[in-house]
Amino acid sequence: MPDAQTAEREITYAEAVREALSQAMEADERVFLLGEDIGVYGGAFGVTGDLYHRFGPERVIDTPISELGIAGTAVGAAITGMRPVLEFQFSDFIMLAMEQIVNQAAKIRFMFGGKATVPMVVRMPGGSGTGAAAQHSQSLEAWFAHVPGLKVVQPATPYDAKGLLLAAIDDPNPVLFFEHKLLYKTKGIVPAAPYRVPLGSAVVRRLGSAAPVVATSIMVTRTLAAADALAGEGIDVEVIDLRSLRPIDKPTLIESVQKTGRLLVVYEGVQTLGIGAEISAIIAESEAFDFLDAPIRRLGGRDTPLPYNPILEKAAVPQTDDITAILRALVAGG
């Protein structure tokens, strides 16, 4: 009989996040959760579930409606040796806590010469697709990947959601953990035992000899669907899940471009000054540049606030058909 801790089982992305939180809290009494409605209510998207009833109100803390206060509490607790994991109901709300996250959490270790660390995790549901309109549907991860001192991750699968979250909680630095709202109900194989996925490591989701696609979060799922569709046309697309925006796994990107001679970057955030520009620059400044047979292409969100209308909302961010079309053109030399 297989061991219960190693046997394969399928759970949702949300369940994987909850399991990581539970196992971290069981293993280390310094780990605690704080955020709006994460306790009795179980979280805005139900992710924290029954953790309040399992660990009590001192370790699963329902906070007042003040993102700045929540972040400041987490920074202070982390400096004094705790391991806080805070949740913002929507990633958009992090803007209310920019001072504590960008000016304090990101800089304290540097300004104190390493004598103080800020081991905190900020969990946030992000992205479009739920009809939540312009103030609740943004993809802001590139903002924070620009800030030295912060680590930024975007798990695309239940397996990575658990492994990256446990690694983030272990990390002595502040980690911003973006969870796409549309991924919460997706299922995947997740071991029951604790495990870690290293921060800063990309993974090749699909090997191919044609143009590689570097994708993040929900775009990994859509890119894999596009790759499956193109396989019927004899176009063998390679798909790389970036997983971490800071640090970025440069060697994996460079190796793939050297093999295929092309590159497409797909992400949900606004295309202008987004993660695609940085990845393009990494390749242009590396030894992979001489291997390019076609210009690097980007496919990001449109330069517009996210519409409420569901048809317009879908049109504002890349969909599978958009990815399929640009890949077909890229491979053809366009």
**Which residues constitute the domain of residue 271?**
203-331
Do 24 and 50 lie in one domain? The reply is yes
Average pLDDT over residues 59-78: 97
Strands 187-189 and 10-12: antiparallel
Q: Tell me the catalytic residues.
A: 136
pLDDT-above-70 percentage for the chain: 98
Q: Give the model's pLDDT for residue 236.
A: 93
Last residue of a domain, one of 158, 189, 220: 189
Token pair, residue 272, equals 């202008």
| pLDDT of 262 higher than 60 | yes
Over residues 299-304, the mean pLDDT reads 96
Pair 303, 326 in one domain? yes
**Residue 184 sits in the same domain as residue 207:** no
Same domain, 92 and 115: yes
150 with 24, same domain: the answer is: yes
Asked if the model's pLDDT at residue 282 lies above 50, the reply is yes
Average pLDDT over residues 213-239: 95
Phi-psi region of 290 (alpha: psi -120 to 50; beta: other; left: phi over 0): alpha
Please report whether residue 184 resides in a domain.
yes
In this structure, the answer to whether residues 40 and 170 fall within a common structural domain is yes
Over the stretch 241-252, which tens digit does the pLDDT of each residue have?
A: 999 999 999 999
pLDDT tens per residue across span 82-126? 999 999 999 999 999 999 999 999 999 999 999 999 999 999 999
Mean pLDDT of 309-328: 96
264-277: pLDDT as tens digits:
999 999 999 999 99
Look up the pTM and report it: 0.94
pLDDT band at 1 (very low <50, low <70, confident <90, very high): very low
The residue from 130, 160, 189 where one domain ends is 189
* 37 and 146 housed in the same domain: yes
Helices (H) and strands (E) in the chain, counts: 12, 14
CB 300 within 8 A of CB 276: yes
Residues 159 and 207 in one domain: no
pLDDT band with cut points at 50, 70 and 90 for residue 4: low
Residue 13 pLDDT greater than 70, yes or no: yes
**How many distinct structural domains can be found in the chain?**
2
| Domain end point (choices 130, 159, 189) | 189
Asked whether the beta carbons of 224 and 206 are under 8 A apart, the reply is yes
Q: Phi and psi dihedrals of 111, rounded to 5?
A: -70, -20
pLDDT in tens, 136-145: 999 999 999 9
> For position 222, what pLDDT does the model report?
97
Residue 60 maps to a domain: yes
Instruction: Read off the CATH number of the domain in which 237 is found.
Output: 3.40.50.920
Write out the two tokens for 245.
């925006």
Work out the pLDDT band at 334, boundaries 50, 70, 90: low
Q: Is 60 exceeded by the pLDDT of residue 2?
A: no
The pLDDT > 90 percentage for the chain reads 95
Whether residue 294 is predicted with pLDDT greater than 70 in this model: the reply is yes
Of 3-7, 21-25, 191-195, 220-224, minimum mean pLDDT range:
3-7
Averaged pLDDT for residues 46-63: 96
Instruction: Flag whether 2 is in a domain.
Output: no
The position carrying tokens 């491979």 is: 331
